[in-house]
A = this chain, B = another copy of it.
Amino acid sequence: MSRIGVFGGMGPSATVDFLDKLVKLTPASRDQDHLPVIVASLPHIHDRSSAILGRGRDPLPQLLAGIDMLNQAAVGVIAIPCNSSHHWFDEMSRSSKAPLLHIAKTCVEAIDAAAGSRVAIFATRGALASGFYQRELLARGMNFILPDSEGAQKQVDSCIREVKAGNLEAGAQQLSQACQDAVRQGATTLIMGCTEIPIASRSADVFGLTLVDSSLELARASVAFALARGWNRPGWDS
């Protein structure tokens, strides 16, 4: 039970980005200092955002099958670098022996509530309709700004779609426009609440927004969970 389980493929590039963060966040000077990780990258899971909005097939059976696969591989914790899938977090948690880390909780906990930030949320329409980011922020006494559904949200949607299609520059352009709009609305901090957005942000103009990367915060929580339990110590089979 000394392995991090990653339920990925939603999307595949975001999974690679998340794994890269796990490696870089682990203090290591040789292979044997690193953390064992089992990844189930299952890209054929039905679109999460569409399903939440009532316009697509229910991905829950596939999500539960992925959680089961990771439990079969005896992982000790599960991270899912896909925000929208957290709409089904409770169902997945209940079916898992290994605990699940919640991406939105790790992300919102990274924001200093006392700093008086004005927080914008960029996520899929499904994740915003599900409302888990809004609930986490309100529970910590923070308000939020959402993109106009006929304006900046369209650019967020395009950004995510372009990254999933491998078009990083086009994704970055869309993200830049959405960021400019968020700043106009008064935002000072941006939750990148979809794991494709951090990939686009590498070459975007974010107009001075403080970025909070949901993928990075989930990776930090995963590494901290594993290091606290000594999973970086050789003896992986014990």
Asked if residues A41 and B47 are in contact (CB atoms below 8 Å), the reply is no
**Cα-based distance from A36 to B15 in the complex (angstroms):** 12
Question: Which residues of chain B are within 8 angstroms of A62 by Cβ–Cβ distance?
Answer: 236-237
A186-227 residues at the B interface, CB under 8 angstroms: none
Asked if residues A65 and B34 are in contact (CB atoms below 8 Å), the reply is no
Asked if residues B28 and A23 are in contact (CB atoms below 8 Å), the reply is no
**Cα-based distance from A80 to B46 in the complex (angstroms):** 29
Per assembly, the copies of the chain total 2
Asked if residues B47 and A42 are in contact (CB atoms below 8 Å), the reply is no
**Cα-based distance from A13 to B42 in the complex (angstroms):** 21
- Size range of the chain A interface in the assembly: 35 or more
A150 within 8 Å of B by Cβ?
A: no
Asked if residues A47 and B19 are in contact (CB atoms below 8 Å), the reply is no
Q: When each residue 32-69 of chain A gets 1 if its CB lies under 8 Å from chain B and 0 otherwise, what string results?
A: 11111111111111110000000000000010010001
Interface residues of A, Cβ cutoff 8 Å to B? 9-13, 15-16, 19-20, 22-24, 26, 28-47, 62, 65, 69, 72-73, 161, 164-166, 234-237
Query: Can you sample 21 A-B contacts with CB below 8 Å?
Result: A9-B34, A9-B36, A11-B30, A12-B28, A12-B31, A12-B37, A20-B20, A24-B166, A29-B164, A29-B165, A29-B166, A31-B44, A32-B44, A34-B43, A35-B43, A38-B38, A38-B39, A44-B235, A44-B236, A62-B237, A69-B73
